[in-house]
Amino acid sequence: MPSKEEYGIPYTPLPSSQPSQTVIVLTPYRRNRRPSFLRNLRCSLLFAAAILLLSAAVYFLYPSDPDINLSRIQLNHIRVLDSLKPALDLSFSLTIKVRNRDFFSFDYDSLVVSIGYRGRELGLVKSRGGHLRARDSSYVNATLELDGLEVVHDVIYLIGDLAKGVIPFDTIAQVTGDLGVLLFQIPVEGEVSCEVFVNVNSQKISHQDCHNK
């Protein structure tokens, strides 16, 4: 078979075949952070709510001392006996309010009310115990009586107070008992202290100032 050169036709070699190339253009991927933000926010809110609930539980369930208040105090009589050693005849009627602030029952052994003069105790009276339910209150009546009590140490102050017509007395009411917290008995106590000014001439209380301890 005659070749292309024989017919005068120029011969041009075919180009060698090259492998095809594919170019893939990737666009930047932006990660959606919104679900992660909401998840963190939800966890933070749940943690804050748990802390609030725990704080509220500790506040309401933590044992606290009973609240003691002097609801009423009345002077029955007062008399200073003139002798070589001055003595007092004195009688008070008191009503003490005991309030259980806890969410547990409170059993108290006794309520003790004492009276003093110039920081020295003159006498006391003790009442029977009782039971208070959770968040309950009770009123206890007591009568303080001093018959012919000699005032030796503070006789000079007593003479001065008699000249003024007003004698200051100190009254302290104390209650002790136990809170029934589940299977435990937790001891608690409450106290109120009052300064009572007694008018000797009118046989009445002119002023009183109380505060809890």
Note whether residue 29 is domain-resident: no
| In a shared domain, residues 57 and 160 | no
Residue 18 is assigned to a structural domain of this protein: no
DSSP 138: E
Same domain, 59 and 100: no
State whether 77 and 55 are in the same domain.
no
Residue 107 pLDDT greater than 60, yes or no:
yes
Q: State yes or no: pLDDT of 200 exceeds 60.
A: yes
Asked if residue 141 and residue 49 are part of one domain, the reply reads no
User: In the numeric block, which tokens belong to residue 151?
Assistant: 């005032």
CATH of the domain at 103: 2.60.40
Whether 16 maps to a domain, the answer reads: no
For residues 177 and 193, what is the distance between their CA atoms, to the nearest angstrom? 18
State the total domains in the chain: 2
For residues 44 and 130, membership in a common domain is answered with no
Given a contact cutoff of 8 angstroms between Cβ atoms, the answer to whether 72 and 92 are in contact is no
pLDDT grade for 52, boundaries at 50, 70 and 90: confident
Question: Which pLDDT belongs to residue 168?
Answer: 95
According to DSSP, residue 102 is labeled S
One domain for residues 57 and 91: no
Residues 120, 175 within the same domain = yes
3-class secondary structure, 60: helix
Which residues span the domain enclosing 96?
A: 67-212
The tens digit of pLDDT for each residue in 158-173 reads: 889 989 999 999 999 9
Say what the pLDDT of residue 57 is: 61
Banded pLDDT at 44 (limits 50, 70, 90): confident
Residue 23 lies in a domain: no
Q: Are residues 125 and 146 in the same domain?
A: yes
What integer pLDDT is reported at residue 171 of this predicted model?
Answer: 94
Do 196 and 135 reside in the same domain of the chain? yes
pLDDT at 8 over 80: no
The pTM assigned to this predicted structure is: 0.70
At 155, the amino acid letter reads V
Domain assignment present for 19: no
The model's confidence at residue 110, banded by pLDDT at 50, 70 and 90, is: confident
Place of tokens 């109380």: 210
Q: What is the pLDDT confidence band of residue 81, given thresholds at 50, 70 and 90?
A: confident
Q: Which CA distances in Å does 33 have to 38, 119, 177? A: 9, 72, 59
In a domain, 15, yes or no: no
Which residues lie closer than 8 Å to 181 by C-beta, 6 or more apart?
A: 63, 104
1 found inside a domain? no
44 and 145 in one domain? no
pLDDT band at residue 49 using 50, 70 and 90 as cut-offs:
confident
> Based on the domain organization, do 57 and 77 belong to the same domain?
no
The verdict on 193 and 91 lying in the same domain is: yes
Residue 183 to residue 54: CA distance in whole angstroms = 21
Of 4-8, 134-138, 169-173, the poorest mean pLDDT is in 4-8
> Is there a domain that residue 39 lies in?
yes
